[in-house]
Amino acid sequence: MRLLLVTYEFPPRGGPGVQRPVKLVKYLEPLGWDVTVLTVKNPVTAIVDATLLNELPESTQVLRAWSLEPMRLVSLFRRLRPTRARGANTRGSASGGASPALIKRIQSWFVPDEKRFWKPWAVRAALRAARVTPFDAVLSTGPPHTAHLIGSTVAERLSLPHVVDFRDPWIGYFNYRAATEFHSLLNERAERTVLEHAAVATVVTPSMLEILESRYPKRQFRTALITNGFDPADLPETREPDPEHCRFVHTGVFTPPRSPEPFLHGLARAEESNPSLAQRLRVDFVGAGIEVEEMARSYGILSAVRGLGYMDHAASIKRLARADVALVLLSPGRESEVSLTGKVFEYMGMRLPILAAVGTGAVANFLADKDYAVVADSDHPDEIAGAINEYVRQWSAGELTGPGPEDVRPFSREFQAAQFAALLDEFARKD
């Protein structure tokens, strides 16, 4: 059986969004599905991780279709600008220096997103490939949700079942604001049209599932919850903690409104109540730059706080291998409500204790009954301070414990690929 997987997020592009499609391709092949990936030829990105291409099976075909994107003009403008002063160094900035506010303003004027001009070239490439090797099903994963428009069009043209995989919500995503009410209506209509022709819609959190099902009470498509996860093959067999210091590690970039500030505020409070903390604690931010170090200094923090910049996935995992406690930091409000960030599962796979400074919602609910996790309200620095001090105390006493094998097994990428394969087997065209 052959699957067409439509995804903008794919290597050599890096970042968290590529993990789900890459691992899906990797683990579907042993389950009887050869995958043709339809992705973008010329992504506008400062995040690159070509090492992930090594994980693809030999049978994988990758089609790369050209895309005309407004963000290319922003990238060109940045290249033509005079070089910034040396003092403005933003080591490891994943955005390549682009203003998040400007990016959001540009995105808000396009439906479903600024990648929409990828569609004509992508559809043409898919139909051309289908004439050579027919497909049995189409799976699109987003954001960007233009992938779903492409997947839906190709599936209709070829009379194939379409599986729509939402890694983040299309409607109601915390980080998206439409330019006008008219744009909001167009987005709602576009999602409805895609789902009216879909066989299955998969989501990554229970709250997303509840919202989707309530929005489409008379739906004809199937819904399924398939969370994010981790790949055991990525993880080292042993950890390498620092015996002299308790090390907290956070992986991932901070895109507004997400910020390290609530955690750092809590850390400052923890140092006030425990003056010896700074001699025992180290905090590493993988994916953030020196801005977190400057923010820590502004709070008067004495503990060693480092912004290590962007790292490829393998290097990020090596940093996690040195951690004693892993950090999940989400903004309160809509992000915390809907986001069950993929890093949670990678931390679990590494068997690390977790400190989550988040608002009410998906992560808080998921970790609430886990004895290897502490959830602190991101709006309450004293809660964060208490959690920090308690974890350092447990480290000093040799009492830190992480999840066991039975806790993490359902969240392996191989297990999740089997869930997708079961859906595809059910709906795929049988010759």
What one-character DSSP code corresponds to residue 234? G
Annotate 201-268 with DSSP letters as a single string. EEESSHHHHHHHHHH-TT--SEEEE----B-GGGS-SS----TTSEEEEEES---TT--SHHHHHHHH
* Contact predicate 19/153, CB 8 Å: no
For 341, the token pair is: 């960030």
Distance CA 143, CA 167 (A): 7
Q: Cβ(322)–Cβ(61) under 8 Å?
A: no
pLDDT at 82 (0 to 100): 54
pLDDT at position 135 over 50: yes
* Of the candidates 133, 137, 132, the residue with the CA atom closest to the CA atom of residue 154: 137
Q: In the structure encoding, which two tokens stand for residue 338, read together?
A: 């809907």
Rounded mean pLDDT of 262-266? 98
Q: Among residues 102, 55, 62, 203, which one has the least CA distance to residue 143? A: 203
Higher pLDDT, 268 or 178: 268
**Mean pLDDT confidence for 391-403:** 96
Identify the H or E element spanning 335. helix 334-338
The pLDDT value recorded for residue 78 is 60
| Model pLDDT, residue 91 | 45
Reported as a pLDDT band with limits 50, 70 and 90, residue 106 is confident
Q: Which has the minimum average pLDDT: 35-44, 175-184, 384-393, 403-412?
A: 175-184
Domains of the chain in sequence order: 2-229+412-427 (3.40.50.2000), 233-409 (3.40.50.2000)
> Is a pLDDT exceeding 80 seen at residue 285?
yes
What is the predicted pLDDT for the residue at 36? 98
The arrangement of strands across the sheet holding 222-225 comes to 61-65, 34-40, 2-6, 137-142, 162-166, 200-203, 222-225
Which stretch of 79-83, 255-259, 294-298, 331-335 has the lowest confidence by average pLDDT?
79-83
Q: Which two tokens stand for residue 72?
A: 């290319």
Report the mean per-residue pLDDT for the chain.
90
Q: How open is the CA angle 146-150-155, to the nearest 5 degrees?
A: 145
Integer CA distances (angstroms), 429 to 3, 59, 128, in order: 11, 20, 19
Q: What pLDDT does residue 88 have?
A: 39
Q: What percent of the chain has pLDDT over 70?
A: 91
Per-residue model confidence (pLDDT) at position 96: 44
Q: What is the mean pLDDT of residues 164-188?
A: 86
* Polymer length in residues for the chain: 431
Q: Give 282's strand partners.
A: 247, 304
The predicted structure's pLDDT at residue 241: 85
